[in-house]
Amino acid sequence: MSVLIETNLGDIVIDLNTEECPITCKNFLKLCKIKYYNFCLFYNVQKDFLVECGDPSNTGKGGESIYGLLYGNEAKYFQDEIKKSLRHNEIGTVAMANTSKDKNDSKFYITLKSDLNELNDKHTIFGRVVEGIEVLKKINSTFSDSNNRPLQNIRILHTIILDDPFPDPNGLSEHIPNQSPKFIKQSKTDDRFEIDEDLDKENRGKTKEEINEIIDEKDAKSRSELLEMIGVLPSADIRPPDHVLFVCKLNPITEAEDLELVFSQCGTVKSCEVVRDKVTNDSLCYAFVEYSTKEECEKAYLKLENILIDERRIHVDFCQSVAKVRNNQNSLKNFLTRGKGGSGRLDRKHILNKNYQQESGTKGYNYVDDDDRNFKKQKSNEKDSRERDMKSSSSSSSSESDNRYKDRNHHDRNYNRSYDRDNRNKDDERERDRERDRDRDRYSDRDRERDRDRYSDRDRYRDRDRYSDRDRYSDRDNERNREKDRYRR
């Protein structure tokens, strides 16, 4: 009456108490027989206490007994079989993890410490671990999160019945698989590693430099995917051209022809472009040189680095810009889009010229909109042609319009005379308004002077009355004092 449980940390052998707990042992054995416990996680590991398992949902809220699987929800749980002779006094005691009385299903726990007397008389003890105590110690030493879930998945891989004294109930054969199922990760949201998974498999046997190179490649790929998501790159797999050089630290007076002459010593230069400001047309002191082959580009990179051009030490590097590739792809996309219905009207951003690379300005190596510049140039040419047409038409019709211009001059002279008369009338009216305002100011000044005199006279009379009253009161006090002196005598 034993069961072998294979885990990804080792094997555990459990001896069952079939005589003391026959219902519980039969439930456990038949669940093992139909491979119900295969790939179940040890989802609750409480250090130095117990480890819980037996729930296929790996949450502690699921699980079903063999009786419920065979006979329906009415038989989902079975009663407790608690015996006074069975106690939690050893490491490896196996008991049912019921949440309340007579609520036993498929969940069970194994103790990781001896003398856990607080669990006695509450759970049905139906077995004990006789082999694999070291596996329990490994489980006890694993790191867990705040919910006691191990950070690395520990699970049951297989269950093998060594001895089964109970006959199979009716209908059990329908649930027994032909062979042990293969492991499939049941939860797609579970991103935890398996505890037996080799995390260093890819890096084993490689040097530190090789590992750093792999890490850099992964970082570069993630950055490319990010740039694709925000719309900077058309594709995460896009690569810069391998036959184009980036040249910087140029003298502002260096021209593209001079630079092409120097770089042509290393091979055939297909194009050489000094990047200039769109407004001022001043050199930005860097350029792009395109060769016909990758080998010529590498040769120029090795030979022309730090050479002196126009009294400046230049710096040469491989081009990392993908703007030209992006612009070409956008142009092709616009061309194909116009051919698939739509308004049939050419917008400014959809203009495609036969010569995509311009004679002046950048050729698409940087992020300058070449289509915009082509559009402006086309507009300027149209404007110049219209002005030339107007001049030619005016010269051809000058003789026919002499009389008309004379009449127009006569009309303009009469109009100017009437305009001068109106201006003189307006000036007279403005002068009269100014005189009226001046008179109004004079009257206001006179009124202000009169008010000032009136206020000063009133203040003078008030002061005189105040001083006279003070003198009168002073004379009365003196008279009173003389009377007092007379009576004292």
155/150 Cα distance (integer angstroms): 10
The residue-averaged pLDDT of 83-110 equals 94
Per-residue model confidence (pLDDT) at position 355:
40
pLDDT value of residue 361: 44
Higher pLDDT, 428 or 443: 428
Q: Does residue 474 surpass a pLDDT of 90?
A: no
Q: Are 307 and 278 in the same domain? A: yes
Tens of pLDDT, residue by residue over 11-25, are 999 999 999 999 999
Please give the pLDDT value at position 304: 92
Which pLDDT does position 194 carry in this prediction?
83
Q: Is residue 221 part of a domain?
A: no
What is the sign, positive or negative, of the torsion defined by CA atoms of 365, 367, 368, 372? positive
User: Can you spell out the DSSP letters for 238-269?
Assistant: ----TTEEEEES--TT--HHHHHHHHGGGS-E
For position 19, which CATH number holds? Answer: 2.40.100.10
Same domain for 273 and 365, yes or no, is no
d(CA 233, CA 219): 16
- What are the angstrom distances between the C-alpha of 260 and each of 98, 252, 264, 273? 85, 15, 6, 9
> In terms of domains, do 76 and 125 share one?
yes
Single out the residue of 338, 344, 332, 378 nearest to residue 358, CA to CA.
378
Judge if 127 and 152 occupy the same domain: yes
Q: What is the distance between the alpha carbons of residues 392 and 24, in angstroms, rounded to a whole number?
A: 111
How many angstroms separate the CA atoms of 141 and 42, rounded? 13
Q: What is the pLDDT at residue 49?
A: 95
Short-list 24, 23, 59, 22, CA closest to 40:
59
Among 245, 248, 250, which residue's Cα sits nearest to residue 267?
245
Among 178, 127, 177, 167, CA closest to 30: 167
Lookup result for tokens 């990758």:
294
249: left (phi over 0), alpha (psi -120 to 50) or beta: left
- Which of the listed residues 264, 295, 320 is the one where a domain comes to its end? 320
Q: Identify whether residues 311 and 338 lie together within a single domain.
A: no
Q: For residue 299, what is the enclosing H or E element? A: helix 294-303
Residue 438 lies in a domain: no
Same domain, 255 and 354: no
* Same structural domain, 12 and 153: yes
**What average pLDDT does the segment 39-68 reach?**
93
Given a contact cutoff of 8 angstroms between Cβ atoms, the answer to whether 42 and 154 are in contact is yes
CA atoms within 13 A on the CB side of 137: 4
pLDDT in tens, 306-333: 999 999 999 999 887 765 555 555 544 4
Confidence bin at 341 (pLDDT 50/70/90): very low
Fill in the amino acid letter for 102.
Answer: D
The reply to whether 330 and 314 lie within a common domain is no
Domain range for 72:
2-175
Q: Which secondary structure element, helix H or strand E, spans residue 421, and what is its range?
A: helix 402-488
Residue 117 resides in a domain: yes
Tally of domains in the chain: 3
3 state DSSP class of 487: helix
Nearest to 126 by CA among 30, 32, 26: 26
The Cα 183–Cα 180 span in angstroms is: 9
For the entire predicted model, the pTM comes to 0.48
For residue 221, give every residue at least 6 positions away whose Cβ sits within 8 Å of its Cβ, in sequence order, or none.
236
Q: Are residues 306 and 331 in the same domain?
A: no
- Residue 86 pLDDT > 90: yes
Specify the range with the lowest mean pLDDT, choosing from 195-209, 210-224, 235-249.
Answer: 195-209
pLDDT grade, residue 283 (50/70/90)?
very high
Phi, psi of 351 (to 5 degrees): -70, 130
Assess whether pLDDT exceeds 80 at residue 129: yes
Report the C-alpha gap between 386 and 287 in whole angstroms: 37
Q: What pLDDT is recorded for position 229?
A: 82
- The least confident of 44-53, 352-361, 386-395, 410-419 is 352-361
Cβ atoms of 50 and 63 within 8 Å: the answer is no
- State yes or no: pLDDT of 237 exceeds 90: no
Phi, psi of 439, deg, nearest 5: -65, -40
**Those residues with Cβ within 8 angstroms of residue 358's Cβ, 6 or more apart along the chain or in another chain:** 370, 373, 374
Percent of the chain with pLDDT over 70: 64
Lowest mean pLDDT among 76-90, 323-337, 371-385: 323-337
Quote the pLDDT of residue 381.
Answer: 62
Which of 209-218, 228-237, 369-378 is predicted most confidently? 209-218
